[in-house]
Amino acid sequence: MGERVILHVDMDYFFAQVEELENPSLKDTPTAVCMVSDRLSSMGTVASANYVARKYGVKSGMPCFNAKKICPQITLLPARKRHYEQVSGRVMEILACHCKILEQVSVDEAYLNVSEKTGFDNVEKLIVQIKKDIFDGERLTCSIGAGPNKLIAKMGSSEKKPDGHTIVKPHEVEEFLASKPVEKLFGVGEKTAAKLKEMGVDTVSKMRALSRERLTTVFGEARGGRLYDFSRGIDDSAVRERQKEQYGRLKSLRKTTNDAGEVRLLLDELTDEVHQKLKSESMSCRTISATFILDDLTTMTRSKTLPTHTSDLAVMKETAHKLVDEFMSSNNAVRRAGITASNIRKETGQKSLFEF
DNA sequence: AAGCGCGTTAGTC
DNA sequence: CTAACGGACTAACGCGCTT
C-alpha cells in the first residue's frame, strides 16, 4: 500500500452556524444552541456556541446557567436536531463527491480517503475546492485537516478554526505532535489525562518516552498500545463506511425520582421510539440496555441479552421493565434514563447476499 | 492460553 | 438564599466460560 492522504472535515460550530444562516443578526452577538430537557427549572447544556460567545468563555458541554453567568447578553436557542441532520445530510453528499469512501463520524464530521485523487503536493487545491463546494451549496464554513492517517487528519482539522485548514505531511508528523499537551491527543480524555499527569507526563513528546510495556500495564493492552502508537503519529485504521451498531434514546425525567413506575413509564415511551427506528430499517436486536443517570450525573447501565433476535415491542418493553426493577430495587434516585437496542442485524427474510 | 459472549464504563462530539 | 447539567454513539475492558 502506498502513501495515504486522509482528510478530516469538521463543520465549524455546526448547530449555531446553521442557526445564523436563518437569522444573520446572530452573527454579531454571542449565541449558543442548547439541549434542553423538560425538567423543572432546567436550562440544559450548551451544544454549540458561536465564536462571539466563545470569546466570553462559553463552551459546548457547559450548563446554560454558567453560560448565562459569564455572558448575560447571550442568545440561547433550543436545538433543532432534525433540521441539523437534514443540513448535515446535504453536506455529506457534497463530501461524497470528492472521494470513494466517506466515513461519517458524527452529524458534523467526516473522514475522506483521497489518496487516489491527490498527493500531499496538491492536496491544498482539493481542500479549497471542498470548502468552496460546501460554502456554495450551503453557505456554511468548515475546517479541514490533511494527514497520512485519520489521527493526524483529525488533529489537523482542529488546528486552525474556524474556516481554516492544516496540512501535515508525513515528515512533519513528529514535530506537529511533540509539543501538544496530552489531552489534545485523540483518545486521551479526562481520566487518561489525569493518570498521565500523575506519571509526570503532560506533553506528547514526554509520552513518547514511555515504553510500550509501561503504557499497556497502566492502561491495558489495546488502549495502552494505541496511546503508544498515537503519540508517534501512527494510525493504520482504515477510512470505512459506518453502519450503525445500536439505536438508543435517553431522556431526563421531569424530576429526579425513586419511583420505578415513573421510570418504566418513561422507558416505555423511549422503547416505542427505538422500536420504530428498528422497524423502519428492518432491523432486530438481541441486547437491550437501560441507562440510568443519577443526580450527581454518574451513569450506570444494565443490560440483558436475549436468546434470539427480536423486534417485538412487547418483548423489548418487558426486558426494559425487568432492568428498571432490578436497578431501582437497590439503587439511588434516577435523574435521566434511557434504552438502547444493540447486537442488531437485518431482519431475516431479507436474506443478504452473504447469508449462505 | 486463547477466544468468545456478556455486561459495564470511558471517551468523543 | 442556593442550586442549577443533553443526548447519542463507539471502543474496549474485565470477567467467566469453553475449547
Q: pLDDT per residue over A36-49, tens digit each?
A: 888 876 789 999 99
| Per-residue pLDDT at A273 exceeds 70 | yes
pLDDT value at position A150? 94
Q: Which of residues 214-233 of A touch strand C (CB under 7 A)?
A: 219-224, 226
pLDDT value at position A265? 95
A304 touches strand B (CB under 7 A): yes
A61 touches strand B (CB under 7 A): yes
**Nucleotide with C1' nearest the A302 CA:** B7
Could you tell me the CA-to-CA distances from A261 to A265, A328, A331 in Å, in that order?
Answer: 6, 10, 14
Are the C-beta atoms of residues A34 and A44 closer than 8 Å to each other? yes
Are the C-beta atoms of residues A34 and A249 closer than 8 Å to each other? no
**Residue A1 CA to nucleotide C6 C1', Å?**
42
Q: What is the CA radius of gyration of chain A?
A: 23
Which grid cell sits at A276? 420504530
- Annotated catalytic residue within A3, A85, A93, A109: A109
**Residue A251 CA to nucleotide C4 C1', Å?**
18
Q: How many CB atoms lie within 10 A of CB A31?
A: 27
Among the ranges given (A50-54, A143-147, A213-217), the one the predictor scored with the smallest mean pLDDT: A213-217
H helix runs in chain A, sequence order: 14-22, 51-55, 64-70, 81-96, 123-138, 150-157, 173-178, 190-198, 204-208, 212-219, 221-230, 260-280, 313-328
A341 touches strand B (CB under 7 A): no
- The residues that bridge with A246 in the sheet, in sequence order, are A342
Are the C-beta atoms of residues A183 and A152 closer than 8 Å to each other? no
CA dihedral (A172, A178, A184, A185) positive or negative: positive
- Tell me the percentage of chain A whose pLDDT exceeds 70: 97
**Residue A25 CA to nucleotide C11 C1', Å?**
41
Closest residue (CA) to C1' of nucleotide C11 is A223
pLDDT value at position A221? 82
**Residue A307 CA to nucleotide C19 C1', Å?**
22
**Nucleotide with C1' nearest the A81 CA:** C7
- A3 as an active site residue: the answer is no
| Per-residue pLDDT at A351 exceeds 90 | no
A126 touches strand C (CB under 7 A): no
A192 touches strand B (CB under 7 A): yes
Q: Is A258 exposed, middle or buried (0-12, 13-18, 19+ CB in 10 A)?
A: exposed
Return d(Cα A72, Cα A65) in angstroms, integer: 10
Closest by CA position to A146, among listed A2, A12, A10: A10
Q: How confident is the model at residue A219 (pLDDT cuts 50, 70, 90)?
A: confident
Note the pLDDT tens digit of each residue in A14-30.
Answer: 999 999 999 999 999 99
- Give A194's contacts (C-beta < 8 A, 6+ positions apart): none
A41 touches strand C (CB under 7 A): yes
A296 touches strand B (CB under 7 A): no
pLDDT value at position A354? 40
Note the pLDDT tens digit of each residue in A63-100.
Answer: 999 999 999 999 999 999 999 999 999 999 999 999 99
**Nucleotide with C1' nearest the A338 CA:** C7
pLDDT value at position A169? 97
Mean pLDDT of chain A: 91
**Nucleotide with C1' nearest the A155 CA:** B12
Task: Find the mean pLDDT for residues A180-185.
Answer: 90
Which chain C positions come under 7 Å from a protein C-beta?
Answer: 4-14
| Per-residue pLDDT at A243 exceeds 90 | no
| Per-residue pLDDT at A355 exceeds 70 | no
Does the global pTM surpass 0.85?
yes
A250 touches strand C (CB under 7 A): yes
Are the C-beta atoms of residues A335 and A253 closer than 8 Å to each other? yes
Q: For cell 450503525, what's the residue?
A: A244
A189 touches strand B (CB under 7 A): yes
| Per-residue pLDDT at A352 exceeds 70 | no
Q: How confident is the model at residue A189 (pLDDT cuts 50, 70, 90)?
A: confident
